[in-house]
C-alpha cells in the first residue's frame, strides 16, 4: 500500500514503481483524485481505441488494473472511474496523461511465471493466453 | 489472474472455473469489455430485482464480486460498472446474459470454511450470517 | 469476507470491526446496497470537501478503500459508486451517514508497520508519506 506522487502521471508512476521494485505480475487498485485525465474505450468494430481528455479535477472513484509483461517489460492495464463535484461519473480504459492529485494504491505482487501479452487476432488486442 | 473466454457468459465462465478448480470461497475483480450486458438493481420495497439489457459493446470499468456457497454449490455475486465510448456509465448487479468481449480476472481463493448463503427474511435476499 | 449489519453506518461499521479485531492496516472492497448515502468530492482549489446526500435506495456498484492510522486510531478512507434502478450512477468520497441495506465486504489485513496519515500542506489532505 502506498502513496502515488502528486503531479505524476498515473500509469507511468505505477509502471516506474514496478520496474524499480522488479514487479512483473501484480493486481492493484487506486483511489484518490486527478487534476486531469485521459480515458477511452475500445471500438470493437473498428478495433481501435477512442480516447477523450478531461481537463478538470476529478475524484478517482475506482481504478482497477493489473501488471504483466509486454515485450518483456512490466505493462500496466487499468480501467478508471472518475467523478466530479456533483458525483457525475465518466469511466473507461486509463491512458497516460492522467495526472495524480492524490493517489493511494494497493498493489499485490503475484508469484509464479509472469503472464505475457501477445497479439490476439480476434480482438486486435494484446491479451494473455486463455486458461 | 487469467483471461476469460471471448463470447462466454461472464458469470457462467467464472462459475465454471470455480467448479472445475474446486474453488468454494473467493473474491475477484474483472476489467475488460462486453459485447452485451444484463444488469439490474434490487427494489428494496418490492424485494425483487429489476433488470435491463444493454445490446451494445461496453467497457467493463469495474466488476467486483465474490464466490461462496448457495445450495452447496459455488455461487457468484458481482456488481458491474460499464462505460460506452463517451465514458458514460451504467452500473448495478451483474446478471447472466452478459457476454465477454475481453476479460481479465483477478480471483483470490480464500481458505477456511466456505461461507454459505441462506434466506434473509429482512431483505428477501440470500445472504451470509452476520459477523 | 463478511456481511455488514443492515441499518448500520457503512464507514462506522468497518471502523468498529477494525477496532475490535485490532486491524490497523488493510484494504477492502464492498458490494451491496444502501438505503441512503452521503458522498462528496474534494474541491482542489478551495481545499474543502463538497458533500451531497442521496435519500434513496441505491446499489453499491463498488466501494474500494483502505485502513490506516490517523491520530493513532484505525481510519477508513473509501470511495464509492452507487447506481439506481435505471443503472444511473453517482460516485465519490464516502462519508458517514451512508446506511447499509445489504453489504458484503472483502477486507484484507496487511502486515508490517501500519501507515499513518499526516497533514499534507500541498493538498490540505491527511496523507501517507510518499514511497
Q: State the cell numbers at B18.
A: 470455480
The answer on pLDDT for B24 being more than 90 is yes
* Coil, strand or helix at B6: coil
State whether A123 and B104 contact (CB < 8 Å). no
- List subunits contacting chain B, requiring 3 or more Cβ pairs under 8 Å: A, C
CA-to-CA distance for A95 and A9, rounded, in angstroms?
10
State whether C102 and B127 contact (CB < 8 Å). yes
pLDDT of residue B10: 98
State whether A81 and C80 contact (CB < 8 Å). no
* Structure confidence at residue C110 as a pLDDT band (50, 70, 90): very high
CA-to-CA distance for C105 and C31, rounded, in angstroms?
7
State whether A81 and C91 contact (CB < 8 Å). yes
pLDDT of residue A130: 80
CA-to-CA distance for C81 and C62, rounded, in angstroms?
5
The count of C-alpha atoms lying within 13 angstroms of the C-alpha of B109, restricted to the half-sphere facing its C-beta, is 12
CB pairs under 8 A between A and C: 95
Q: What is the DSSP string of A62-107?
A: EEEEEEEEETTEEEEEEEEEEE-TT--EEEEEE-S--EEEEEEEEE
The answer on pLDDT for B131 being more than 80 is no
Q: Mind listing the pLDDT tens digit for each residue in A7-22?
A: 999 999 999 999 999 9
Average pLDDT over residues B71-82: 97
- For chain C positions 57-96, those within 8 Å of chain A (CB to CB) are 62, 64-66, 68, 77-81, 89-93
ipTM of model over 0.90: yes
Nearest to C35 among B25, B44, B120 (CB): B44
CA distance C6 to chain A (A): 24
CB contact set of C16 (below 8 Å; sequence gap of 6+): none
Q: Is there a contact between C79 and A61 (Cβ–Cβ < 8 Å)?
A: yes
Cβ burial C13-44 (10 Å sphere, 16+ → b, else e): bbbebbeeeebbbbbbbbbbbbbebbbbbbeb
Nearest to A84 among C41, C64, C131 (CB): C41
Q: Mind listing the pLDDT tens digit for each residue in A98-120?
A: 999 999 999 999 999 999 999 99
- Give which of A31, A54, A55, A64 to mutate to test B binding, by max B Cβ within 10 Å: A64
Q: Which residues of A touch C68 (CB under 8 A)?
A: 1
- Report the percent of chain B where pLDDT is more than 90: 98
C56 CB near a chain B CB, below 8 Å?
no
Q: What is the DSSP string of B35-93?
A: EEEEEEEEETTTTEEEEEEE-S-EEEEEEEEEEEEETTEEEEEEEEEEE-TT--EEEEE
The answer on pLDDT for A1 being more than 70 is yes
Q: State the cell numbers at B118.
A: 441462506
- Residues facing A32 on adjacent strands: A60, A103
State whether C130 and A5 contact (CB < 8 Å). yes
CA distances from residue A72 to A21, A68, A69, A115, B105 in whole angstroms, order as listed = 15, 9, 5, 10, 21
Average pLDDT over residues C97-106: 98
CA-to-CA distance for B61 and B78, rounded, in angstroms?
13
CA distance C20 to chain B (A): 12
Q: Mind listing the pLDDT tens digit for each residue in C24-73?
A: 999 999 999 999 999 999 999 999 999 999 999 999 999 999 999 999 99
pLDDT of residue B12: 98
State whether A79 and B62 contact (CB < 8 Å). yes
pLDDT of residue A131: 66
State whether A42 and B62 contact (CB < 8 Å). no
The answer on pLDDT for C83 being more than 70 is yes
Average pLDDT over residues A73-95: 98
- Give which of B36, B55, B61 to mutate to test A binding, by max A Cβ within 10 Å: B61
A47 CB near a chain B CB, below 8 Å?
no
Q: What is the largest CA-CA distance in chain B?
A: 44
Average pLDDT over residues C76-92: 98
* Structure confidence at residue C15 as a pLDDT band (50, 70, 90): very high
- Report the percent of chain A where pLDDT is more than 90: 98
The 3-state secondary structure of A28-65 reads: EEEEEEEEEEEEEEEECCCCEEEEEEECCCEEEEEEEE
pLDDT of residue C18: 97
Average pLDDT over residues B87-93: 98
State whether C90 and A83 contact (CB < 8 Å). yes
pLDDT of residue C131: 66
Average pLDDT over residues A35-56: 97
Q: Which residue has the higher pLDDT, C127 or B131?
A: C127
Average pLDDT over residues A53-71: 98
CA distances from residue A36 to A45, A81, A83, B8, B56 in whole angstroms, order as listed = 28, 13, 12, 35, 28
CA-based torsion, C52, C57, C62, C63: positive or negative: positive
The answer on pLDDT for A40 being more than 70 is yes
Amino acid at each position: 500500500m502506498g502513496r502515488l506522487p502528486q503531479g505524476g502521471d498515473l500509469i507511468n508512476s505505477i509502471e516506474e514503481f514496478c520496474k524499480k521494485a522488479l514487479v512483473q505480475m501484480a493486481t492493484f487498485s487506486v483511489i484518490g483524485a486527478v487534476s486531469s485525465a485521459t480515458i477511452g474505450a475500445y471500438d470493437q468494430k473498428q478495433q481501435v481505441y477512442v480516447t477523450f481528455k478531461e481537463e478538470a479535477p476529478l475524484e478517482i472513484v475506482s481504478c482497477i488494473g493489473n501488471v504483466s509483461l509486454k515485450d518483456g517489460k512490466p505493462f500496466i492495464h487499468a480501467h478508471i472511474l472518475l467523478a466530479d463535484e456533483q458525483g457525475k461519473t465518466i469511466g473507461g480504459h486509463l491512458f497516460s496523461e492522467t495526472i495524480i492529485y492524490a493517489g493511494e494504491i494497493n498493489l499485490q505482487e503475484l508469484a509464479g511465471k509472469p503472464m505475457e501479452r501477445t497479439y490476439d487476432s480476434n480482438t486486435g488486442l494484446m491479451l494473455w493466453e486463455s486458461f
